Structure 1
Amino acid sequence: MIRRLLFACAAVTLMAQAPAIHFDSFNHDFGRITPDRKVSAKYRVTNTGNAVLSISQVRPSCGCTATVLGKWSINPGESTELEATFDPRGYRGQVRKSIEVLCNDPKTPAVTLTFETEVVQEVMPSQDAVYFNTARTASAHATVRYASGNGDPVKITEARAPGAPFLAFTWRQDGKDALLDVAFTGRSVPKGQFRGVETVTVRFTSAHVPQLPLDVQWELKPSVVASPAGLVFEGNAGTDLRDKLVLKQAEGRAFRVTGMSCSLSQVRVEGLLQKAAPQQELTIVVPASMKAGRYSETLALSTDDPDQPELTIRISAILK
């Protein structure tokens, strides 16, 4: 009986001796900062328990945050500081990050600290890229706003995209902001090119932000459109399988289909070299000579349309 009482008293004593982690604050607001200036915050941690508090890990949510802990072991009643330094390079706008602190407090083994800020650049673009998808015979426009982040007027001095004669730029002021107008002319795209990404260098009078890149992604809509966009054949091997393919010139111009090539040599195309017309009807033939199996092939058709000299059709076949 006495032995059981001694064990019970020892257990109560051990349970009563425990560390307790306490932070004076769990969040810090840096307010508005610029991306060229690191900022730091200190979180005061106190051991309010009656046993040594051991902090085992301090884990920031990303590599942009560095931490320094004053002491990893804290006696009862003592305090130390956890300093967190945030590097805002590459960030823009509202940012919220966290830091997880792991320790031997049996009631609170993990504590999450947070900080927030608004990263403000002297020049803040409304977007980093624009996209054009238009016919070769058409033009398109887009506008990018470069807003003032510090109250000083934003002024553009130059916008250039070497090797892209189909892009033109003008700029104007809108209060303290600058507006860049980007014009895309499909007719100026070199023959044989149908899509691409151009990097525009936009220069400013700002000493801290002398220039920013702007990506222009563009794609020309097909001049000749295939219907359907792909063909699927399913049937028995040993018999010809046929399907119709209609090609239509988007602007109603007459054209001819002048040739074909296929990744599977047995595939035939009937109706080549017909009289020029705004619409051409072809018959695609998967011949009886093909063996049973599954096929995924590419059919390339050439035309005399200057804006669409070639188009590609996907062909799938399941032969039993």
Structure 2
Amino acid sequence: MKGLLVFASIMLFLLCILVISIPLGAEPKTDATVTATKACMSFPEPIFDFGFVYQGEDVTHAFKFQNVGESTLKISRVQASCGCSKAEASDTEIAPGAFGQIGVTFRTGGFIGQQTKIIHVNSNDPINPTIDLQLKGEVKIEVEVKPLTLSFENVSKHEQVTKQFEIIQRGEQKLIIDKVTTDKEYLKIDSVEKREQWGKNVYSVKVTLDSNAPAGYLQGRIDVSTNLERRKTILVGVQGRILGDIKLSRERIDFNVPAGTKKASSVVISTKGDNFEVLRVENNIKYLSAEVITLEKFKKYMIDFSVAPEVPPGPIRGNVKIYTNCPGETELTVHIFGRVVEKTTE
């Protein structure tokens, strides 16, 4: 019994000490209390619906925000989800209670239909270090081009080829094509025909690649002038390749050889037309030599590539030019992508 009284006295003494050590009116700190002393970024409207615009028009908007915290808000990064949009902050440091804005521009060229673009905003807000803003709406088109690019791939020299594209009215304004031109004398506009489809104008344009087109890669454009305010000029791309009389077995050489190996690779040049000759080879690639070997005079040649014996391990890259006396095909290019590696010892 005496022991119990002693134990009870000790516990009462400890309880009194604990009560005295807690200040009157003191409250435990909560997350909300800590947050209030920090920066806090607040966007009243983090989503902006721009409704609809026509393709080619820019959408601009300013997302307004306030620092509702008690410390300076520091914006470290503002990044749009794609390169079609540009976003930047009005200021990178916002005082407590002050306002700022994130300016956004969405370039709609090349986009059709419903679009949603996200803007990521990073700051020193401890609760929301990254806030995502949203720009959404519909991009409409006044005209549709099918296809956007005319392709003349692997057309033989002296061959005449005709392609066609359509320009289709999608908006309410009646589409009228005033003029169609090309930037190449060997690209001819054969015809521009109009028809009506479901109350909309549709134009079919036929383009011919003339037989006098030079051998090599083809890049051009077709300009279509219209009555539309937003699309006064419609551009249609032209690309392709015209195959000449001279055939190069390959335009790119890849090799991976041990140090000390001489032979690297080779290409063969031949013709299916008139006789020709390889006049010279222009090679400025260090440690690589090119030798012309006649396989069949005036018809077939081989360019033999060799690596110098003293070449150190590493890449061997560059372009080699081959010059001929064939009209329209006087210069050919071989792309070299090689590597010399350490010789292994067994």
Same fold at TM > 0.5:
yes
In structure 2, runs of 5+ residues without a counterpart are 1-17
Instruction: Tell whether 2:289 aligns with 1:271.
Output: no
Work out whether residues 302 and 309 of structure 1, in 8 Å CA contact, stay in contact via their aligned partners in 2. yes
1:216 counterpart residue number: 238
Q: Give the partner amino acid of 1:308.
A: E
SS of 2:22's equivalent?
helix
Structure 1 residues 145, 107: CA separation in 2 closer, same or farther (over 3 Å shift)?
A: same
Tell me: CA distance 1:46–1:145, structure 2 relative to 1, closer, same or farther (3 Å): farther
Indicate yes or no: 2:133 matched with 1:113.
yes
1:18 Cα shift?
A: 4.3
Matches within 5 A, 1:249-260: 249=271, 252-257=272-277, 259-260=279-280
Amino acid at match of 1:172: E
- Equivalenced residues, count: 299
Deviations along 1:250-286, whole A, 9 cap, x unmatched?
xx43534353334379854342782x55xx2547486
What are the ranges of 5 or more consecutive residues in structure 1 without an aligned counterpart?
none
> Which of 177, 192, 213 pairs up with 1:189?
213
With the length of structure 2 as denominator, give the TM-score of the two structures.
Answer: 0.61
Q: Which of 111, 122, 125 pairs up with 1:92?
A: 111
Pair 1:293-2:311 in alignment: yes
After superposition, give the CA deviation of every residue in 1:14-47 in whole Å (9 maximum; x if it has no partner): 7447458776664343332134475658779897
Q: Choose which of 222, 226, 248 in structure 1 pairs with 2:248.
A: 226
Q: Distance in 2 between matches of 1:73 and 1:139?
A: 72
Letter in 1 for 2:209: F
CA contact under 8 A between 1:23 and 1:46: conserved in structure 2? Answer: no
Question: What pairs up with 1:2-81 in 2 under 5 angstroms?
Answer: 5-6=22-23, 9-12=26-29, 15-16=32-33, 18-19=35-36, 26-34=46-54, 35-36=56-57, 38=59, 40=61, 56-57=74-75, 59=78, 61=80, 64=86, 73=96
| 3-state DSSP of counterpart to 1:151 | coil
Q: Percent identity?
A: 13
Q: Alpha carbons of 1:107 and 1:85: their partners in 2 closer, same or farther (altered >3 Å)? A: closer
Q: Which is greater in Rg? A: 2
- Partner in structure 1 of residue 13 of structure 2: none
2:182 is aligned, of 143, 148, 161, to 161
Matched, 1:139 2:160: yes
Cα-to-partner distance string for 1:37-95 (whole Å, 9 max, x where unaligned): 75658779897xxx7697654946276457789x97559xxxx9979665656463243
Sort the Cα spacing of 1:14 and 1:93 in 2 relative to 1 into closer, same or farther, 3 A: closer
Correspondence for 2:12: none
CA contact (8 A) 2:255 2:264 kept: no
Question: Bigger shift: 37-46 or 292-301?
Answer: 37-46
Post-superposition CA distance 1:160-188 (Å, at most 9, x none): 124x1211223333522333333222x22
**TM-aligned CA distance change 1:148 to 1:118, over 3 Å:** farther
Which stretch of structure 1 is more off in the superposition, 102-111 or 113-122?
102-111
Aligned to 2:142: 122
Q: Does 1:171 align with 2:192?
A: yes
Q: CA RMSD in A?
A: 5.0
Give the Å deviation of 1:206.
1.8
CA contact (8 A) 2:249 2:267 kept: yes
Closer, same or farther: CA 32–299 of 1 in aligned 2, 3 Å = closer
Is the 2:266–2:305 contact (alpha carbons within 8 Å) kept by the matching residues of 1?
no
How far the C-alpha of 1:203 sits from its partner, in A, is 0.3
Structure 1 Cα separation of the partners of residues 53 and 334 of structure 2:
53
What letter matches 1:12 in structure 2? K
Alpha-carbon separation, structure 1, partners of 2:123 and 2:330: 68
Q: How big is the shift at 1:150? A: 1.9
User: Aligned partners of 1:233, 1:165: CA distance in 2, in Å?
Assistant: 44
* TM-score normalised over the length of structure 1: 0.65
Secondary structure, counterpart of 2:204 in structure 1: strand
Rounded Cα–Cα distance in structure 2 between residues aligned with 1:101 and 1:240: 57
Q: CA deviation at 1:116?
A: 1.0
Amino acid at match of 1:180: V
What is the alpha-carbon distance in structure 2 between the residues aligned to residue 136 and residue 281 of structure 1? 21
1:172 match: secondary structure: strand
Deviations 1:138-161 (A, max 9, x none): 233444333334233323221112
1:173-216: CA deviations, max 9, x gaps? 3522333333222x2225xx633533332101223322123332
CA contact (8 A) 1:157 1:203 kept: yes
